[in-house]
């Protein structure tokens, strides 16, 4: 892999990371609800999901998913339903205001670290847009005459590093708004806002199509 290849992939990774998607919505939602520190677990879950997609694409399984309409539609449906479920759960989340927090920040009870991590993982792992991106874009940065694993490792580190920074940026920006949500009614509104966004993103996945080239 040449420096030019890597720099081009770096730019592509930045553009993909900053574009609004299910990972960004989840990071903002958790950042606003639980703060940046607790959102880190969610973000690392998102990275594991990204790594899984990269491995799948690198192993050629992604190409099989793109070639098989049944397999692709299965992944698409699971991902869409999962995001809709997350959004619905967020919409219905109970708001618990502790007396010492009510004077400062509006918060809901944070799920366990394990649950936040898995939420992040499944959000990216079941995202058909991720499969499309990996299968369509990743091969363009792979040099055929060079060893595959070192190249995949470089691309994975680059992609995840960028995504961790960007997702923390989203979480930080959302957490900075916590001061505007000082009562249970406002927290309930933000739960419904982000829950609605997740459901919209999930519904949008039903319209994702396989690459015409396949």
> Do residues 196 and 189 lie in contact, with contact meaning Cβ atoms separated by under 8 Å?
no
Q: Name the average pLDDT for the chain.
A: 76
Examine the pLDDT at 192 and tell me if it is beyond 70. Answer: yes
Query: How far from the centroid of its chain's Cα atoms is residue 180's Cα?
Result: 25
> Do residues 33 and 86 lie in contact, with contact meaning Cβ atoms separated by under 8 Å?
no
- Within 10 angstroms of residue 208's Cβ, the number of other Cβ atoms is 17
What pTM value is reported for the model? 0.68
How far is it, in rounded angstroms, from Cα 159 to Cα 10?
Answer: 7
Examine the pLDDT at 153 and tell me if it is beyond 80. Answer: yes
Mutual angle of helices 148-175 and 36-58, in 10-degree steps: 150
* Mean pLDDT, rounded, for 127-143: 69
- Per DSSP, the residues of 17-59 read HHS--HHHHHHHHHHHHH-HHHHHHHHHHHHHHHHHHHHHHHT
How far is it, in rounded angstroms, from Cα 164 to Cα 184?
Answer: 30
Phi, psi (rounded to 5 degrees) for 48: -65, -40
**Nearest Cα to Cα of residue 206 among 85, 74, 102, 113:** 74
pLDDT at residue 100 in the model: 39
The C-alpha torsion from 5 through 11 and 14 to 15, rounded to 10°, is -120
List the chain domain ranges.
3-205
- Within 10 angstroms of residue 39's Cβ, the number of other Cβ atoms is 28
Band (pLDDT 50/70/90 cuts) for residue 186 is low
Examine the pLDDT at 114 and tell me if it is beyond 50. Answer: yes
In our burial notation (b when 16+ CB lie closer than 10 A, e otherwise), range 50-69 reads bbbbbebbbeeebbebbeee
* Mean pLDDT, rounded, for 135-164: 81
pLDDT at residue 161 in the model: 95
Examine the pLDDT at 125 and tell me if it is beyond 90. Answer: no
- Measure the N-to-C terminal CA separation of the chain; round to a whole number of Å: 26
Examine the pLDDT at 103 and tell me if it is beyond 70. Answer: no
pLDDT at residue 139 in the model: 66
């Amino acid at each position: 892999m040449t420096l030019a290849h890597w720099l081009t992939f770096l730019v592509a990774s930045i553009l993909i990371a900053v574009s609004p998607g299910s990972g960004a919505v989840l990071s903002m939602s958790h950042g606003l609800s639980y703060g940046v520190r607790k959102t880190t677990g969610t973000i690392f879950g998102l990275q594991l999901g990204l790594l899984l997609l990269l491995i799948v694409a690198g192993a050629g399984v992604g190409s099989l998913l793109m070639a098989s309409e049944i397999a692709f539609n299965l992944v698409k449906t699971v991902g869409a339903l999962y995001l809709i479920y997350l959004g619905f759960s967020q919409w219905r989340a109970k708001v618990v205001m502790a007396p010492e927090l009510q004077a400062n920040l509006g918060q809901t009870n944070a799920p366990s670290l394990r649950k936040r991590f898995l939420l992040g993982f499944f959000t990216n792992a079941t995202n058909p847009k991720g499969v499309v991106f990996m299968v369509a874009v990743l091969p363009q940065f792979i040099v055929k005459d060079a060893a595959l694993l070192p190249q995949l490792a470089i691309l994975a580190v680059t992609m995840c590093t960028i995504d961790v920074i960007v997702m923390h940026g989203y979480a930080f920006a959302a957490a900075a708004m916590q001061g505007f949500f000082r009562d249970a009614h406002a927290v309930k509104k933000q739960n419904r806002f982000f829950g609605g966004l997740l459901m919209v993103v999930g519904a949008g996945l039903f319209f994702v199509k396989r690459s015409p080239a396949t």
